[in-house]
Amino acid sequence: MTFRKIVIGSVLGAICGAISLVAGYFYLADEIDTKFRESIDAVPTRVYSRMQWIGVGGVIALEDLEARLRERDYRPVSGVDPALLKPGQFMIGESDSDEWRHFHVSLRTLDLPPLAEQFFFSDPAVAKEGVIELLWRGGTVGEIRGEEGKTYRAFGLEPLLVAQLSASNIEARRNVPLADIPHTLLKAIVLTEDQRFLEHVGFDPRGLARSMWANLRAGRYVQGGGTITMQLIRNVHLTRRKSIVRKLKEIVMAVMLEFRFSKDEILEKYLNEVYFGQSGNIAIHGVSEAAKFYFDKSLAELSVAEQAMLAGLVRGPFYYSPFKHPERAKQRQDLVLLNMRDHGVITEKEYARAARESLRVVKAASVQDRAPYFSDLVRNELIRHGLSEEEILGGGLRVYSTLDPRLQRIADKAVGQGVDRLEKELRARLARKKSEDETRMLQGAFLSVDPRTGHILAAVGGRSYEESNYNRLLLMKREVGSTMKPFVYLAALMHGRDERGDRYNSISKFEDEPFTWKYDDKEWTPRNYEEEFTGTVTLRRALAASINTVAAQVASRVGPQKVVDVAKAAGVETRLDPLPSLALGAVSLGPLEVAAAYTTLANWGLRKELTPILLVLDEEGKEVFRFSPREEQTLPEPETVNLVDILRSVFTEGSARFAKDWGWTRPSAGKTGTTNDFRDSWFVGFTPRLLALSWVGFDRDDDLVTKHRKLLKLTGAVGALPVWIEFMKAAHAGLPVEDFAYPGDAVRRVKVDLVTGGVAGHRCTGPAVVEDVVTDDNIPRHECGE
C-alpha cells in the first residue's frame, strides 16, 4: 500500500468519523430537545380533582372547609390583620353578635391554562384571587366579601393533582418550583448525591474514576458514579440495565444537557422527577410527593430530620425504606445529618436537635388516597372518547376531573374498615381459628355520585390497589339481587292495575304467599329469604321488606318486558331478557350501570350521564373535549317520585331499618341486594345531595369460599349497607339535615285506609287511616266506605 493511499484512507476515515460524530451529536441533540424538553414542559397525562367551590347559600361544615384548605397546603394563622394575609394563608375569626363566624382566606393565583380558567371562571361574580372574607353560620355560607367591599357569589380553590398516567404505571407526583423547596432539603440532596454539581459540566471525572476503580476491584459493575445530571438523563431516557455503552451515552447526553439548560432548571426537574419508592402499582416521584407519602406533610412542614431522611432515600428507596428497614433508614439519616452539619447547611444546635428526633413515618398505604381506581375510570373515559393509549399515557394531557379528594378518602376508609370488620367476624365464627391471610377473601367496591349533575365524586374498585389493580367498577358484572326490584315496582306504578281497575299505588294490597309463575311450558316458584310468608301486605311494605313472592307477582301482572323497558330507560345498558327471574335480580350488571339507573330515580326520572371528567386539554392548552351533560326525561316524574318515597320506607320498616342503630337517621332512599349464594351484597341509596353504591362480596367461588359465605350470611344489610352508612355519615358530617323536596305537582299526600285501600273520607277513622303519597293517576278511585 502506497503512502498516498494511506493518506487518502486516513482522510476518508477521518471524514467518515467526523460525519458519524456530527450525526451522532445531532441525533442525541434532537433526542434531548424533544424528549427531555417534553419531559420538562409536558409530563405524562395529569389528572386533577374537581375545583372546590364555596358559594353563598352553600352548605359546608366549618371543619370541612378548613380540611379542604389544608389539603391544598393553605396554612392557618392568627392575630394578623386580614389585609396582610399572604397567599395561601387563612384565619378563622370569632363569631359576631349575630353568631356569624368570620373566615378570611388569601387565595393563591391559580396556575390554570387560559381555557381551563375560562371554563371554571366564566362568571365575574366568582372570586379567584386576593383576600376574601366569608361569613359562616350553622353550616351555611351567608356572604363572601372581597377587597374594597366587593361581594362575590362564590370562590374557588384550585384542583389537586390526583395522578399522572404513564405507560408503565400510575405515578403519584406533585410538581413544585425550585423556590418552594426548602434550601436545607435541596442542599442535603446535592451533598448526598453530587457535591460538585455546581462545578462540573454534566459528569464528574473524579466520581467516574472512583466508580471505575470500585468496578475493577469487584470485577463487575457495582458503582455508577453518576452526577445529578446523569441520573436525570437515566430517569428520562435510558434503561436501568447497567452497561459501559449506556454509561458512555449517559455521559455524552449529560454534557449536552448542561449546555441546553441552566443548573436551576436541571435541579428543579431532578427534584420533581427523582424516584422515592413504590406503593404497590403506584410510583412515588418528586420531593413534594415523597413528603406527603412518608410524613403526610407539605415540604414547608418538614423538619430538618425528615428532610435528611428523604435525602438519604434517593440512593436506594427500597434498601433504606423506613417501613421495611427502620434501623438502616435511621443510620442513613444520621449520615446525611452529619454531612449537612460538616458543610455548614445546619448549625451544631440544629444537628443535635435533629439527631435526637425520632424517626416517624406515616403508613405507606396513604398514597391510596390518590384515587388509582378513579384514574382507571378517567383512562377508560378517554378511550371511550377516541383517544389512543399512546395519547393518554404520553400525550401530556391535562384532565380536570370530578373527583372530590375528601370523599375519596372517606370511601377508601369505609371500604377498608367494612371489609376488615366482616373478616374479623368470619374468623370468630370459624371452628378452627385461622390467620388473617387465610380469611382475606372478601372484596369491596364503592361509587359516589352527585345525583344533580352525574359527576362521579369517589371511586373504589377494590380493597387495595396495591394488592391488585383489578377494578371491579369497570370489569365486574355480578348478579344484583333485590336492587332490581325498584324497577319492577316502578313498572307497576306506571302500568299495573288492581282488580277494581285502579292503578297500583303504594297501598295496593298483595298476598305474601306461595306463588308459581307459569311461562313457556315452564314453572318458576320464588322463595322468600327466610322461607316465611306474612299474608296481606301493601306495595310499600313489600318493596321495603324485599318480599320475593310479591315482587314476582307484580312482575307477572305487568309483564317482564315492561320491567326490562323501565330498567333500560333508567340507565341499564346490559342486555336484559324478559324472564320471570328478572324480578328478583337474577341478572349480572356492572356497578356503574346500577349507579346510573339509581341516579335517574334520584332525579325523578331525568336520566343523566355519569362522568369522571369535566374538561381535557392537550399539552398546548387546546381543548380536546369537555363534558357536555346529556339529560333526558326517560321515566315519568310523578311515578318516579312516588317510587322514591316508597324507597324511603326501606330505612324505616325494611331491610335497612337497622341503619339508625349504626347512627344514620337522615332522610334517605335506597335498596339492599343479596344473591342466593351470599356471594354478593349490594346497597344503593341516596340523600338529596349524594348517591352512593356499595358492593361487598367474594371474587372466588371455590369450596372454601362457599363455606365462608354460609358462615357469614352476607346479605345486603350485613355486608354492603354498613359500608354505605359509614361513608354517608362522614360525608354529611356537620351539614344541616335536608329532606327530599318533591316537585310541586308530581305527587300529593292523601289520607287512605289501609284496610280497604280507599281514600279516607269523613266516615273512615282509626289506626288503619294513614297519610301516603300518590300521583294524580294512581290515587284510589273509591272511598274506604264504598
Q: Which residues pair with 165 in a beta bridge?
A: 45, 170
Distances (CA, A) of 467 to 282, 444, 462: 11, 13, 9
3-state SS class at 456: strand
Which residue is listed with cell 418528586?
286
Distance CA 697, CA 443 (A): 6
Residue of 129, 193, 357, 511 marked catalytic: 193
Please list, in sequence order, all residues whose beta carbon lies within 8 angstroms of the beta carbon of residue 413, skipping any fewer than 6 positions away: 726, 730
Distances (CA, A) of 598 to 451, 490, 592, 672: 9, 12, 10, 12
Distance CA 741, CA 744 (A): 8
User: Would you give the distance in Å from CA 643 to the centre of its chain?
Assistant: 30
Q: Count of alpha carbons within 13 Å of 681, Cβ hemisphere only? A: 26
- Which amino acid, 201? V
Residue of 482, 655, 668, 681 marked catalytic: 482
Distance CA 142, CA 138 (A): 10
What letter would DSSP give residue 33?
I
Please list, in sequence order, all residues whose beta carbon lies within 8 angstroms of the beta carbon of residue 244, skipping any fewer than 6 positions away: none
Using CB atoms within 10 Å of the CB of residue 205, give its burial: 0 to 12 exposed, 13 to 18 middle, 19+ buried: exposed
Q: Count of alpha carbons within 13 Å of 769, Cβ hemisphere only? A: 13
3-state SS class at 283: strand
Where is 671: in which H helix or E strand? Answer: strand 669-674
Largest CA distance in the chain: 132
Where is 339: in which H helix or E strand? Answer: helix 326-342
Distance CA 216, CA 219 (A): 5
What is the secondary structure of 524-585 as a DSSP string? E----TTS---EEEEHHHHHHTT-HHHHHHHHHHH-HHHHHHHHHHHT--S-----GGGGGT
Distance CA 111, CA 158 (A): 8
Distance CA 98, CA 104 (A): 18
Distance CA 636, CA 648 (A): 19
Distance CA 691, CA 668 (A): 10
Please check whether residue 604 is in contact with residue 598, taking contact to mean a CB–CB distance below 8 angstroms.
no
Active site residue 193: yes
Where is 420: in which H helix or E strand? Answer: helix 405-429
Distance CA 28, CA 26 (A): 5
Please check whether residue 258 is in contact with residue 250, taking contact to mean a CB–CB distance below 8 angstroms.
no
Please list, in sequence order, all residues whose beta carbon lies within 8 angstroms of the beta carbon of residue 555, skipping any fewer than 6 positions away: 488, 491, 563, 580, 582, 583
Please check whether residue 537 is in contact with residue 510, taking contact to mean a CB–CB distance below 8 angstroms.
yes
Grid cell for residue 334: 444520621
Distances (CA, A) of 383 to 89, 397, 742: 40, 13, 38
Which residue is listed with cell 427534584?
271
Please check whether residue 309 is in contact with residue 329, taking contact to mean a CB–CB distance below 8 angstroms.
yes
Q: Nearest Cα to 423, choosing from 408, 409, 412, 438? A: 438
What letter would DSSP give residue 57?
T
Active site residue 631: no
3-state SS class at 554: helix
Please check whether residue 380 is in contact with residue 372, taking contact to mean a CB–CB distance below 8 angstroms.
no
Distance CA 625, CA 643 (A): 36
Query: At 457, phi and psi to the nearest 5?
Result: -100, -30
By annotation, the residues acting in catalysis are: 193, 482
